Amino acid sequence: MKIEEQLCAAIDSRSVIVMTSAKDPEGATREVEPHIVYEASTRNILVDFYQVAGYSERGTLEWKRLKVADIRKVERLDKTFKIRRAEGYNPDNRERYRRVICKVQEDQDSDKR
């Protein structure tokens, strides 16, 4: 399964994932809540995620994005996440999201997750 497909499967099930990036130091991992995979105006395919643990170049746990092409490994964990609207998630940002490939879906049970 391609990285993009793994990300979309995790987004669909709202699974927290551990991932590694080619841009990070050897052995570094990030624990993240992926929210959307999209094509940006630059034509790059990106993933926006909320980082909850692990390596951070800036030392912060917050909203981040990476090129999907830079992600080397994705591992789904046995825990789920809530949509982070209060932290600024806005899937309708047309300036950022030229074409949405997959995104978390809101449902009536979203507050129960």
**E-assigned strands of 4-44?**
15-21, 30-39
Structure confidence at residue 113 as a pLDDT band (50, 70, 90): very low
Task: Estimate the share of the chain in helix, then strand, then coil, as percent rounded to the nearest 5.
Answer: 15, 40, 45
What are the residue ranges spanned by the domains of the chain? 3-112
Q: pLDDT value at position 17?
A: 98
Q: In this structure, which amino acid lies at residue 97? A: Y
Q: pLDDT value at position 108?
A: 44
Q: pLDDT value at position 100?
A: 94
pLDDT in tens, 58-91: 889 999 999 999 999 999 999 999 999 999 998 8
pLDDT in tens, 5-50: 999 999 999 999 999 999 999 999 999 999 999 999 899 999 999 9
